[in-house]
Structures are given as C-alpha cells and as structure tokens.
A and B are shown apart, each in its own frame.
Chain A
Amino acid sequence: MGKGSQPQNEMLKGTLDMMILRTLVGGDAHGHTIAKVIEHTSEDLLEVEQGSLYPALHRLEDRKWVSSFWGASENNRKAKFYRLTAEGRKQLVRETSRWRRMTRAIGLVMGEEGGAQ
C-alpha cells in the first residue's frame, strides 16, 4: 500500500476495460484479484477504484466480453468470478493494437526514442 508511490488515480479513459480483459487472459478471476493483479503488474502505479471496477465489469458482461459465475476463491470464500469470452478475446486484440498505435504516436510526438516499442 505504498502511499509514497503516488498511485495514478486518474486512469486514462477506456483503458480500465482493456486492462481487465488483459488480466483475465491469465484465467478466471474475481473482482479483488483483478484489482490486485492490475495494481501489482503496474508496480502499484495504478490504483483500481472499486467505484469504477464494478461498473466496468458489469459493462463488459453486458457486451458479452466476459461471463460471470459464482465460485469459491483461493481462500475458499464465495466470490463472483469473471471469465474472458471468445468475443472478449477478439476485443482485447483490437484494443491492444489500438493502444499500441496510440502510445507509439504519443511517444513520437513527445520525442521519446523509438516511441513505444
């Protein structure tokens, strides 16, 4: 819970959905795990607000990119799990390539060497 690491509270718009989908590539997960994974992977730079996590999950479910079911967590507690659907996988591919193009373009503008990758 590094308070000194100044987590990035303002996430870029639309990126949360993409990151949730990316997280789910590793396997089914419940809300808490998803948040933790994003925070850890981003080296705690990003903090997932619950106020946006759950609406996002429900939105993704409405769009049929993830499906949900109730199961037991690692600690054997009841939790709602989310699973990436085939449609969600395709969406992730689209989002990822769009994101790559975008960051490269921004990188070029900002004069970073080689942009992003």
Chain B
Amino acid sequence: MSWSRFLRRKRSDAELQDEIEAFLTEETAGNEARGMPPGEARRQARIKLGNAQRVRESLWAQNSPRALTNIGHDLKYAFRTLSRTPGFSIIAVAVMALCIGAATSLFTIVRSVLLRPLPFRDPGRLVMVYEHHRGAGANTTDFEYNPVAPADFYDWRSKTQGFEDMAIMGYAGYSLTGERGELPEAVRAAAGSWNLFPLLGVEPAMGRTFTESEDRRGNTVVMLTWSAFQRRFAGDAKIVGRQIHLDGRPFTVVGVLPSWFSYPDAGIQLWVPYKADATPELLQHHDWNQSQVVARLRPDVSLASAMAQVAAVQYQLHLQYPHDPVKEDVAPRSLNEDLAGNVRKALQLMLSAVGCMLLIGCLNVSNLLVARGAARQKEVAIRSALGAQRATLIRGQLTESVLICAAGGLSGILLSVLATKWIAHAWRGLPTAQSIHLDGAVIALACGLMFAAALVAGLLPALSTTGKSMLNALQTSARTGASSVSRTALRKSLLTVEIGITVVLLVAAGLLLKSFLQLRSADVGGVTENMLTLRYNLPDKKYDTPEKVNAFNEALLERVRSIPGVRSAALGNTLPGAGSWGDFVFTVKEHPPLKAGEDRPDALVNWADPGYFSALGIPLVSGRFFTNDERGPRSYKVIVSRQLVRQYFPGDDPIGKHLHVPAHFHAGAPADVDYEIVGVAGDTLYQVGKESKATMYFPTLEGSAGGNMLAVHTASNPLQFSVPVQRQIASLDSGLGVSDVRTMKQVIGESLVNARLSATLVLAFAILSLLLASVGLYGVLSYLATQRTSELGIRMALGAQRDQLLQLMLVDGLRPALFGLGLGLVASFAATRIFQSMLFGTRPLDPVVLSGVIATLLAVAVLACLIPAWRASRLDPMKALRTE
C-alpha cells in the first residue's frame, strides 16, 4: 500500500483498466494469429484473463489502508444508525454540547486567570512578598497576606541578598483636570518605586520609566497607561514631555506604558513614583501597612532561602517595635495567585461543578447507548454469528459515541465562544479579563474532552452489549433474556452514580444560593433605600487649610440639602457597605499600659460630619453625635461603634474615656493625640459578607483634605438627583473630579455580583444535571416497563390490581434514586467542606438546604418514574400477553 496510490486510487484504477484492455487486445491478437475466428479469439482471451472485476477489486483493496477503510465503514454505519433515530441523536448531541461547552468556557477562564503566566520577563522568578501574622486565630485568609509597610520594605531591600531586586507599589487617586476644557475626572493611579518597571521587565511604549532620582517626595512626573493615553489624550505621542494637571498641580508625562500592560488591574490610569506623594514620616513607620512588594528571585537562590532572609529581618523589626502591629513573619505569593486571590476558590468550585456536569452528561449518553444496545441485541448477535469479531463490534459502537461527542463537542465549542464572553463580562473583578479568549490550547482541551467523553460514554455500553451472553439473544425469542437483567442492573448503577453527583451539585448550589440570599438581605446597619452616593477628592495643595476644606464641604452639604426632594445628606470617608478606608491602632488612656508582647488594639477609621449618622440612619447607642462646633484640627473628639465598646470596654462606660492615637496616623497632629469618646453609634458592615468590625469616627470638620463620599437620601428615585448634585459640586469647584456615582443599592449589589454569579452558575449546572438525571431515570424505567410487558400481562391475568403494578414499577424506579440520594448526601458532606469559606450565614450541613435538595430530588424522581409506571399499569393484559 502506498499513500500516493491511495490518494490516486481512481486514476490508478483507470490505468489498470487500460492495462487489462491492452492485455485483452494482445491476447486476442495472439489467438487470431493462431487462427481462431475473431469472436472465439476474444472469448478465449477473456477466459484467460478471468474476472477482470476481481483484479480491480483486489488492487483497490491493496491500495487502501485497511484501518482507514474500517474507520470509513464504521463512520458510515454509525452515521446511518444515528440518523435512523434522530430524536435520540439530537438529545445526545445536545447533552454533550452543553456539557463540553460549559467545561470549555470555564477552562478558558481558569486558564487565563490562574494558569497563564503574566506577560513579564521570566515571570517564574517574580513573587509578591507580604507581611504575615503568625498569631493564633489570625490564620484566616484575611490575615495571611498583609500589605507591607514601606519602612519594612526598605529594610528588606537593603539587608537581604536573596532577590535580584524588590520593588514597592501602592494606590493613589487624583483629579485629572482638563487641558482644553474637558471635564475633570477622578482617576485611579498607582505609585511604584522607580525600579518596578525594570524589575518586571516592562519597556515603555513611548518615553521612559522613572529614574531613581525622580522617586522622591514632591516630584511631579507621571506615566500614562495605554488606556488613559488613548482615551484622554487621543493617542497623541506629543503628550510625552508635556504637562498634565493632577489635583491642580502640573505633572510632566515621561512615558506611556504598552497596551498589554494592565497590572495590577485595568482600572489604573496613571503611575507616579512611589515616594512622590508619601511624606517622609510615613515612609519611616513600620506599621503603615499600605503597600505591595514584588520581588525578582536570583536565579541561583531558592525561594525558601530568599524568604528566610526577609523573614529574619522582619522578625527583628517585630521585636524592635513590640507594641506596634509589626508582623513577625513574611509570606510569598505568586503574581498569578495574587491577582486571582479572591476568585480562585470560586473558579475552582465552578470548574468542579462543570466537571460533575460533564460526567453526568457522559453517564447519560452512556445510559442511552446501553438502552439502544439492548434494542439492537439481535442485530449484534446476528453480526457476531456471521463472524464479526468482538473488537469490531465494540469499535462500531464506540464510533457511534465518538460521532455523538464530536458533534456535541463542535457545537459545544461554538456555544462556549458565546458563554465565555458573557462570563468574562458579567464577572466583575476577574483579573486579566481582557485576555480571556479561546485559543489553540483550549480547543485542544475541548477535543480531548470530546474523546474522553466518547470513551467513557461508549465503552461501557459497548462492552455490555457484546459480552458472551449475547448469543442468548439468538437462542431465545423472548425479550426478557437473561442478559438483559445484568444490563438493567448496569443502567441502574449508572443512574445511581448520576443521581449521586446531581445531589452533590444540588447541595452546593443550594448552599451558595442561600449564602447569596443571606448576603442580599444582610443589614449594613443603615438606610439603603433611595440613597445616592458619590466620591470626590479634595486635592490637598489647593485645600491646604482646614478652613478651606470645611468651607467647601459645608457649602456643598448645604447646597445639596436645599435641592428639592433631598431629605438629608451625609459626608464621610466611606459609607456602610462601601468598603473600609483603613484602620488605626490606638491605646485607651484610662486603661493600664499594654503588657510586653501584647498587640495594640486597632479599629477601622472613618470621618463623619455632624449629620452623617442621622442621614444614614445609624442609631445612637449612648452619648451624642458630633456638633457643628467640633471643628478644626484641635477638637479631638471621637465616636466609636458598639463593636469597639464590646471589644475594648467590656462592662465599662466608654463615654468620656480617651483613645490615644499615634501622631503619624493623623495628618496635622503635632504629636500623639488623645481623642475623647463623645458617643457610641450602632454597628455597620463595612462590606457585605464581612463581619462587622470595631470602628472609630472622627469629625470631618477637623478639616483634613482627601477623599470623601457623599450620601444623599432622597424622596424618590435617587439616580434622578445625580446630575443636580454634580452640578452643585461643579459650581463650587469646576476642577473637581467626581467618581463612582451610584445608588447605595448598586454599591452593595456590586459587592454581591460575584456571589450572585457563582450561585447562578452552579445552580444552572445543578438544574441541568437534575434534568439529565431525571431524563435518565425516565428512560431506564420506560425501558424496563417495555421489557416487562409480558410479565406484567401475566401478573394482570393472574389478578394483580393496577395500583399494585403501579407500586411495583415505582419502587423499581425509585430504588436507584434513593441509593443515589444517599450516596450523594454522603459525598456532599465531604465536598461542601471544601468551599466552606465561600458561604455566608449558612454551613455545609444546613438543614433547610439539605431538606430542600432531598424534597426536590424525590419530587423530580417520582415524577420521572410516575409516567412510565402509570403507563405500565394501564396496559391491556390481552395485548401485553401477545407482545412476544
């Protein structure tokens, strides 16, 4: 056999016919020469030649690879059998398309988010370094990776040798004012040390990165990200070297970052040098944990030994500052994991859910094939009696499941192109969302899944239908042959597994759904209805005195409150449910000094105007709120939350006591300051889904500039007020950027988007699985009923009542469902523990969820069984007896 001949079989065949013709002519001519009459000469030549067709056929076969021909035959045969039962084929293909499509989509996302290395130089040696709290009770994920204090970082960098270099970065926000009269805009910026870009191996698309001498306080250089460059500056290359205005100050653009660079997230618009906006005092403090450190490992040093050096330095620092919250250890984390951090668990959960669904899909197709196999028992038996080998029969059946899975897989890939886009769009906070797309590797995986599924789905039925017992089918004319009993058992056990997996999925989905519902109804501690919120940032260069700050804030509040339809307005650094601003450490002046080794207490901080609490509906527990007289930097009053009292003043009246806060935490304070507690407010949640934390409120009338959040309680739809409120801000300061104009409902909703998405997706997978399992249940029982028709007829003839038969069939069908339910419940106890940390207000053994799942499954199972069982009990006994 040769490939060239195989590919030119037609031509080769034509040539052979010519050759044979030539032979005939020669032979005839020879015979004529010997004196035969022409007709006889031709006849004799043909006799001599023999069967020309056989020659052609044998050469044709010789030119065709045997395996290929067989595959061709199998494919043709499988295609014909499948198109004879279009209903079955469409269902099977649809099931596989759904399963493979879902699996491919999720894998695409998981790969882009968790597996694909970041596009930096030699990313394997890059690592994030965090401070780590070893203490007991703090080993939850929230405290595992703490931001780094700059002072710690500078010690690490100068005193350790394990890393080629270490860089530090933090976040900042600016008001970007228009050069040509564009609207001012609040932009998110990042501050990176000068060596960050060389360390990552990022070359600017234009201009240059920062120099070491530029990385100091007051330096006004800036790099633009590609998106800001395109969006705000219309991609004009001349911007490099020019000035733009941030918070009213001129900054020189030194470079533009390349378009692919969206680190640490795509929302960052500008980069400034790390020290540009940090006061020297802040950089000296070891408890100003605000920054992130990325380091590049030396090629000849292991991560463990490099980290050990850093840990040693950090432990020294911890001993040096016994009362400050200086962490005693450090912890490394890969960049991928760092970016994926919060979504990792959710992604893994969904990937396992979709894996389960894929398995159920395979089992279902497998089940359908077993049923078909039973129907085709005679055909298989006859073929094998005619000499077909078992391998040939198995191959034939496998070809069918390969065809189904290939068709399903192809439609699945198409499906997943759409689904992937949708998920990447719907999932907020998914890192590297822009780079999510299908590529060769993913398609290769989909094809792999396809064939694995085909094998799983096809092998079991193929083995079961071609077993030794298959010849029984020829011997017995009855449909209730001995072999079918084992086949029914096989289908039932497939079904049990299927239902078991479905139960696990249902339990997971139920728990996630309940968490989501709990989160949605969680009380943040204040009013959320009809509340408009927005953020603005008072630049401290322009608003350099408390008087100027207060003048602006008070004028704004007054104007906003006078807009018709506005009930009240509140001003603070942050609002309930909108995240935390940060935390301070403190000591209580009236309490005995801390013992050695004892950490100072800490609490979240917020600033509040006198009307903050009443506007937001946060109740007063005792004492009073701030007054309009408590203004200026010397008022030194504080309101604490009930949680802080519970934690640090157990059984004590906090009013009149003093909180002692280190000076560097509070801009403008000359030295450490004692704040008098004037009131206790109700607890609020800084973020939905997180525990309420101890909080202290300082008066906004202290007059420090910076970020503010305005909340406006309105009488009607709050979004209608967004333009009037912004107009008031613009009329006070036309250069001030406003951002995050949203309703409180939206603010809280956004923090729930991911919880909602994982709950929705897992629920969707679970419902699909339930559907598949019930179709399976229905299929098995219908098959069983048909198989037992004559038996049922006999029972009826002997006097069995219809409801007895109904019961008989129901019990038969429900048994695998019950087994599966038990199996699934046991498995879900183990499985749900894995994602316990994603649950809120519920736990793995939630009785409501479990009983809900049991009830749903039983209801669906009874329904799926009832139809075939009822049909069986309505059989006409005479017809049933004659079915043979």
Residue A89 at the B interface, CB < 8 A?
A: no
Interface of B is mostly: helix
The answer to whether A58 and B26 have CB atoms under 8 Å apart is no
Residue B482 at the A interface, CB < 8 A?
A: no
The answer to whether A58 and B62 have CB atoms under 8 Å apart is yes
- Chain A residues whose C-beta falls within 8 Å of the C-beta of B48 in the assembled complex: 1, 50
| Residue among B18, B26, B29, B62 making CB contact with A59, cutoff 8 Å | B62
Interface of A is mostly: helix
The stretch of B53-61, B515-523, B708-716 that contacts the partner chain: B53-61
- Chain B residues whose C-beta falls within 8 Å of the C-beta of A75 in the assembled complex: 26, 29
CA distance A23 to B49 in the complex (A): 20
The answer to whether A51 and B58 have CB atoms under 8 Å apart is yes
The answer to whether B59 and A62 have CB atoms under 8 Å apart is no
CA distance A38 to B29 in the complex (A): 19
Q: Please tell me the number of chain B residues within 8 Å of chain A, measured between CB atoms.
A: 28
| Residue among A1, A51, A79 making CB contact with B26, cutoff 8 Å | A79
Report B's interface with A, CB cutoff 8 A. Answer: 1-2, 5, 12, 15-16, 18-20, 22-23, 25-27, 29-30, 44, 48-52, 54-55, 58-59, 62-63
Instruction: List the A residue with the shortest CB-CB distance to B24.
Output: A32
CA distance A90 to B75 in the complex (A): 43
- Chain B residues whose C-beta falls within 8 Å of the C-beta of A35 in the assembled complex: 23
| Residue among A1, A49, A50, A62 making CB contact with B23, cutoff 8 Å | A50
CA distance A58 to B50 in the complex (A): 18
Chain A nearest CB: distance from B13 CB in Å? 11
The answer to whether A78 and B16 have CB atoms under 8 Å apart is no
Residue A30 at the B interface, CB < 8 A?
A: yes
Known contacts A54-B59, A55-B58, A59-B62; decide if A79 and B22 are in contact (CB<8 Å).
yes
- Chain B residues whose C-beta falls within 8 Å of the C-beta of A50 in the assembled complex: 20, 23, 48-50, 52, 55
The answer to whether A32 and B27 have CB atoms under 8 Å apart is yes
The answer to whether A55 and B59 have CB atoms under 8 Å apart is yes
- Chain A residues whose C-beta falls within 8 Å of the C-beta of B5 in the assembled complex: 58, 62
The answer to whether B2 and A80 have CB atoms under 8 Å apart is no
Instruction: List the A residue with the shortest CB-CB distance to B22.
Output: A79
- Chain A residues whose C-beta falls within 8 Å of the C-beta of B19 in the assembled complex: 30-31, 54, 79-80
Q: Please tell me the number of chain A residues within 8 Å of chain B, measured between CB atoms.
A: 21
Chain B nearest CB: distance from A31 CB in Å? 5
| Residue among B12, B25, B50 making CB contact with A51, cutoff 8 Å | B50
Residue A73 at the B interface, CB < 8 A?
A: yes
CA distance A50 to B51 in the complex (A): 9
- State which residues 53-75 of A face B: CB under 8 Å: 54-55, 58-59, 62, 73, 75
- State which residues 72-104 of A face B: CB under 8 Å: 73, 75, 77-80
Chain B nearest CB: distance from A44 CB in Å? 12
Report A's interface with B, CB cutoff 8 A. Answer: 1, 30-33, 35-36, 49-51, 54-55, 58-59, 62, 73, 75, 77-80
- Chain A residues whose C-beta falls within 8 Å of the C-beta of B49 in the assembled complex: 50
The answer to whether B55 and A80 have CB atoms under 8 Å apart is no
| Residue among A49, A59, A62, A77 making CB contact with B22, cutoff 8 Å | A77
- Chain A residues whose C-beta falls within 8 Å of the C-beta of B1 in the assembled complex: 62
The answer to whether B22 and A32 have CB atoms under 8 Å apart is yes
The answer to whether A78 and B50 have CB atoms under 8 Å apart is no
User: What are 23 sample pairs from A and B whose C-beta atoms fall under 8 A apart?
Assistant: A30-B22, A31-B23, A32-B22, A32-B26, A32-B27, A50-B48, A51-B51, A51-B55, A54-B16, A54-B19, A54-B55, A55-B58, A55-B62, A58-B5, A58-B62, A62-B1, A73-B26, A77-B22, A78-B22, A79-B19, A79-B26, A80-B15, A80-B22
- Chain B residues whose C-beta falls within 8 Å of the C-beta of A80 in the assembled complex: 15, 18-19, 22
Chain A nearest CB: distance from B140 CB in Å? 72
Instruction: List the A residue with the shortest CB-CB distance to B56.
Output: A54
Q: Given contact pairs A30-B23, A55-B62, enumerate 15 new A-B contacts (beta carbons under 8 Å).
A: A30-B26, A32-B22, A32-B23, A50-B49, A51-B50, A51-B54, A51-B55, A51-B58, A55-B55, A62-B1, A73-B22, A77-B29, A78-B22, A80-B18, A80-B22
| Residue among B2, B15, B18, B29 making CB contact with A62, cutoff 8 Å | B2
- Chain A residues whose C-beta falls within 8 Å of the C-beta of B50 in the assembled complex: 49-51
Minimum-distance CB pairs A-B, first 6? A32-B26, A79-B22, A62-B2, A32-B23, A80-B19, A50-B49
